[in-house]
Amino acid sequence: MPVLEVDKVSMTFGQGELAVQALKPTTFSVEGGELAALLGPSGSGKSTLLLAISLILEPTTGRIAMDGREIYNDGPCGIDERAYRRQNIGFIFQQHNLIPFLTARENVALVMQINGVGRREAGRRARELLGYLEIAHRADSLPANLSGGEQQRVAIGRALANEPRLVLADEPTAALDTERGMKVMALLRKIARERQSAVITVTHDHRMIEGFDTVYHLDDGRLTKTTHADTH
């Protein structure tokens, strides 16, 4: 069973003559352990699709299911959208977006605590997760004292804190050099494989395309599945 099913999801902003269809009816699915790339020029609807999947923006039409459970079907299915996000989705941002006044460990533990994990247990698991990401030695550092690559690892740790079924990454390598970008891609692949999470990555970075299992292309709100050869 796919982790995420997106069926004819569309997004229209505005009404009447001013209506703009940012996302045309889109259908795709992502399996556990799959690493999918979402390519497309600026304004093509990539971020809109991520916002729709995470229910930050309500789709205009369509159906979304997570692990077979319907969470949206032409309207909300009575779920708490924030609880849905913190329990099912991990976010990785281009600018890392770590809370600046929390240490690396606290940034990771916070997400667990928000999800109901006790303080001590959250701290232990955060340290363990940072160890998995090979950054345990910087656990007590503030984001401002970490390099870009280290910050991105902490951000990945935070995204994995609640063991989400789906990881949404918005240009996670854009702010990194090639070497660090490759390492982050390898890490995302490892996460997808080892944890059987589905990973969808929005990227402009053609250097990284080789590492993805599936590549989608969004152009003018229309999603198409492409092969690796098509992207070069």
Alpha-carbon distance 135 to 129, whole Å? 9
Torsion of CA 190, 186, 100, 104, to 10 degrees: 50
Question: Shortest Cβ distance from residue 154 to other proteins (Å)?
Answer: 13
For residue 221, what are its two tokens?
Answer: 């709100």
87 burial (CB, 10 Å; 0-12 / 13-18 / 19+) is middle
Q: Is 13 in the site for other proteins (CB under 8 A)?
A: no
Q: Which is nearer to other proteins, 39 or 122 (CB)?
A: 122
Q: Is 167 in the site for other proteins (CB under 8 A)?
A: no
Instruction: Give the binding range for other proteins (CB under 8 A) out of 19-27, 29-37, 92-100, 179-187.
Output: 92-100
Quote the Cα angle for 199-205-208, to 5°.
60
Alpha-carbon distance 155 to 161, whole Å? 10
Alpha-carbon distance 217 to 225, whole Å? 6
Instruction: Give the binding range for other proteins (CB under 8 A) out of 16-24, 59-67, 85-93, 211-219.
Output: 85-93
Q: Which is nearer to other proteins, 35 or 122 (CB)?
A: 122
Alpha-carbon distance 202 to 199, whole Å? 10
Question: Shortest Cβ distance from residue 111 to other proteins (Å)?
Answer: 6
Q: Is 72 in the site for other proteins (CB under 8 A)?
A: no
Strand pairing partners for 20? Answer: 13
Question: Shortest Cβ distance from residue 47 to other proteins (Å)?
Answer: 6
Among 3, 49, 50, 166, binds other proteins (CB under 8 A): 50
Question: Shortest Cβ distance from residue 16 to other proteins (Å)?
Answer: 23
Which residues of this chain interact with other proteins, rule CB under 8 A? 47, 50-51, 54, 56-57, 82-87, 89, 91, 93-95, 97, 99-102, 106, 109-111, 113-115, 119, 142, 158, 170
